A and B are shown apart, each in its own frame.
Chain A
């Protein structure tokens, strides 16, 4: 047995370690997910004016600040008793703000954080065995996805074309957010009662222009076909099968043209998604399209036992058709991408926020109770430096992240969970195709395709919010007064780009904060073991995954553990979010969130 440790995992937000036990055959047999930094965030909201939360909590994360500010604003809406009156246009502005950030955050993940692993030298070695085709594909991978800081055989290669293009789009989308939100990161748009800025007619046209330029990038780089054609045939396809057929047909057409001349460039129609869709999967690339080689990502990052995992979405994006106000409990029909829970066998159930709890058995916190609901959480950090040890194995305490559960089960959150729960045709069809062909429906490949597809789900909605739903100069806030927050509580359920995000807040008789708590996506995904000893989602997904590139295609190389890198990064980890702290006193059962 060999111990392979990644410490730190770079190209994520924050600082993270993962330790694995690997067999002589190169298969991971055990894993511990370690969050490495204790920052102590929500604690400084105690005894403070709750209205500051929308601006302060977004400083948990500079990659996804928008979702924190909206979750906080949602929680404050309920706290102040105004959730039912928030003007429709304020809800539309929240959608636009979040929609722009979804595309930016997904682009950042796909291209800047995750993409560079496609230019890992192991793929060079594998592809070089495939003659001209392999040579051409490696040229595309390294030419598109190489990061700024690299060293390849002693030479620093230029950053990839898609990588740099994506950075430019990230900037453009942040410019768009700044136009209505003052600046980005840490835009100042969200506030209890609505938003602080009412976009003008001019702003609306400018927003539309930014989005249309980003759509151009998606066409030229990401898809290689018109996004509208893609959307029409996938997101709006009449059945999941038709969506899958369209994508396979598209890849087949590209391949028919390219196999003779080995041209896999952008200009020959090979968008980044197409390249990944064909060469990323054994089932689609090798078995369906007849490629001689693939990265076999559909074999890695799977859950061995469906009884120990679930998939969760709190629901995101308000429905403008419903007019003013919204239900903070996020019922199944309340949001454009709906709330829901799917069990490990992909059976859909209604979401009930009361089933959420957090365990601390394997975390560096001290509490006599091992499981608590977030609205009654306690966080007393370990104070003895000797105890902060990440190397004592699966039975020990080994992370600053807690372990959230839904009905006692760890859950994967993020685009794949959301789109499966939504029944998005392409995602649903792909998941079924893998299942029907003896693969695990959830794997590194479907996880990444879902993230790419979600960009295409958001684009048409975003255009609709900007051009149809948003009324220029409309009322975007209801008046609130601090006294309205007296002895109250609020819950803000939302979806960060990387998954389910909840903020909980309670106040005392002076309207000041008595409890503030956030349960965030990376705490779900990167959780350590829970109180029953069930491994967290990433830990489960690592167990059984092969350590080296393409299912150990070139044998076992412990020193280049791409199996770990792909799997963990496929969840889009955000550590600043994952490690957080809450009310130390925990003396406020009276403020438990009301049943809604």
Chain B
């Protein structure tokens, strides 16, 4: 089966990841004849949760991905035999056991590899990058070399895409100066590639952590030539460099939430542990652009609001500052129109005005305290006159 780029991109979004591999088997078989694609995977300031999330990818799983697409993983801190070894300050042994020698060989000799960036890049203190020194060098220095010679950078997870929790508001934020790859929070001028003057194209796979499907299917499409870098990127990516197929600009998590029916009926939980709409508990699903509600997580089992937690908007550029406090209703927290994306604001406005949702509008605009006291159990609110 052959397919053009448009079909492919569409299919990636529509099909589950395992179906995707089934359907495009012939393309993948052909891939074996393709030359090897080299992949360099670096860890900056992060929690390794994105590596764990990639190991949790089931269809394809990481080993299958490497094999089927003929990828050669050159370097991955967590999955490799090597480590840095110095004897009297000099690198010892060979690249078979010494990761510093291995990395140096890669940076000196390789070009055109896919760079997977997990974690952010520390710039502090005072632009020195010395809040992260590895193998005697700042990570900033290593990253500069690695990024320059890559054909494409795939930034995975919020620390890499927007600096995420590393850049959350605090008294020492400026001092720390942790940078995302192409953005720091919403600011592209503060992305580390911009600071270092690197022109390598960047694809952002947001999320805390990133979903393995988002990452693996993007890598697949790039390696198979279904996404041409850089020519296709302007129309495949949104303004935050996220593939629109996974982070649709015209679609928010709220649209397909399994609890959506309760929202439409105005049945809203006021205490965690219930089964109804989480709007009053601060859900940011109406403002978050991702396919979590249709794709689901970990073997496509569940996702945050389905499991009873308000969406905390972990795929959005300003996370966590733009979406916290997590458990306060958006209208009360004064967030609307400040950090959150205006398109989403319009979307929720539209939903509120939609037929059948008038009752909801009356309900959600009413403070729960005015209606009745909090109960111990999960409390649902029914729109007046609805039943």
Which residues of A come within 8 Å of B, CB atoms?
2-15, 17, 36-41, 43-44, 46, 48-49, 51-52, 55-56, 59-63, 65, 90, 108, 112-113, 116, 119-121, 146-153, 159, 164, 167-168, 170-171, 174-175, 177-189, 191, 193-198, 381-385, 388, 390, 475-479, 481, 558-561, 565, 576, 581, 584
Are B170 and A62 in contact, CB atoms less than 8 angstroms apart? no
CA A186 to CA B96, docked complex, whole Å: 34
- Cα–Cα, bound, A384→B171 (Å): 17
Q: Is the CB of A41 within 8 A of B165?
A: yes
Are A576 and B172 within 8 A (Cβ)?
A: no
The answer to whether residues A385 and B128 also contact, given A10-B78, A11-B80, A174-B56 and a CB cut-off of 8 A, is: yes
A40 and B304 in contact, given A149-B74, A150-B80, A152-B96 (Cβ under 8 angstroms)? no
Determine chain B's interface SS by DSSP, over half rule.
loop
A198 to B309, CA, bound (A): 12
Q: Is the CB of B49 within 8 A of A48?
A: no
Known A-B contacts A38-B176, A40-B176, A178-B297; A185 and B52 likewise in contact (beta carbons under 8 Å):
yes
**Which residues between 181 and 238 of chain B lie within 8 Å of chain A, taking CB atoms?**
208-209
What's the Cα separation between A119 and B96 when bound, in Å? 12
Q: Are A182 and B48 in contact (CB under 8 A)?
A: no
Do A565 and B83 contact each other (CB < 8 Å), given the known contacts A15-B132, A152-B96?
yes
CA distance A189 to B309 in the complex (A): 7
**Separation in Å of the B167 CB from the closest CB of chain A?**
9
Chain B residues within 8 Å of A159, by CB: 63
CB distance from A289 to the nearest CB of B (A): 29
In the assembled complex, B45 has its CB within 8 A of some CB on chain A: yes
**B contact residues, total (Cβ < 8 Å):** 95
| Residue of A40, A63, A185, A558 most packed against chain B (CB within 10 A) | A40
How far in angstroms is the closest Cβ of chain A from B174? 11
Give the CA-CA distance A447 to B270 in the complex, in Å: 46
Q: Are A477 and B89 in contact (CB under 8 A)?
A: no
Residues from chain B with Cβ under 8 Å of A193 in the complex? 271-272
Given contacts A5-B87, A197-B309, 5 further A-B contacts (CB under 8 A): A55-B326, A168-B61, A191-B272, A196-B273, A198-B308
The answer to whether B47 and A56 touch across the interface, beta carbons within 8 angstroms, is no
Complex contacts, A112 vs chain B, CB 8 Å: 55, 78-79
Residues of the B chain whose Cβ atoms lie less than 8 Å from the Cβ of A52: 320, 324-327
Instruction: Pick from A9, A170, A188: contact of B56, CB below 8 A.
Output: A170
Query: A49-B328, A159-B63 known; A196 and B303 CB under 8 Å?
Result: no
Q: Which of B358-374 contact A (CB under 8 A)?
A: 374
Instruction: Among A10, A62, A191, point to the contact of B83 (Cβ < 8 A).
Output: A10
Q: Which of B55, B132, B170, B298 contacts A36 (CB 8 A)?
A: B132
A-B pairs with the 4 shortest C-beta distances?
A62-B49, A182-B307, A188-B309, A178-B298
Q: Judge whether B131 and A576 touch: CB under 8 Å.
A: no
Task: Evaluate contact between A182 and B168: CB separation under 8 angstroms.
Answer: no
Bound complex: CA of A150 vs CA of B76, how far in Å? 10
Expressed in whole angstroms, the Cα–Cα distance for A182 and B131 within the complex equals 34
A526 to nearest B CB, angstroms?
15
Are B302 and A183 in contact (CB-based, < 8 A)?
A: yes
Task: Give the distance in Å from the alpha carbon of A191 to the alpha carbon of B312 in the complex.
Answer: 14
With contacts A49-B328, A175-B299, A196-B307 taken as known, whether A185 is within 8 angstroms of B53 at the C-beta atoms is yes
Pick from B6-14, B26-34, B133-141, B336-344 the stretch touching chain A: B133-141
A121 → chain B, closest Cβ, in Å?
7
Tell me the bound Cα distance from A256 to B163 in angstroms. 58
**Complex-state Cα separation, A14 to B320, whole angstroms:** 22
For the complex formed, measure the closest distance between the CB of A120 and the CB atoms of chain B, giving whole angstroms. Answer: 8
Chain B nearest CB: distance from A465 CB in Å?
A: 18
A181-B131 CB under 8 A given contacts A62-B53, A584-B172? no
In the complex, the answer to whether A37 meets B49 with C-beta atoms within 8 Å is: no
CA distance A7 to B122 in the complex (A): 18
Asked if A61 meets B273 with Cβ closer than 8 Å, knowing A10-B77, A185-B209, the reply is no
Across the interface, A196 reaches (CB within 8 A) one of B95, B133, B308, namely: B308
Q: Which residue of A lies closest to B278 (CB)?
A: A196
B99 within 8 A of A: yes
Q: Judging by beta carbons under 8 Å apart, are B309 and A196 in contact?
A: yes
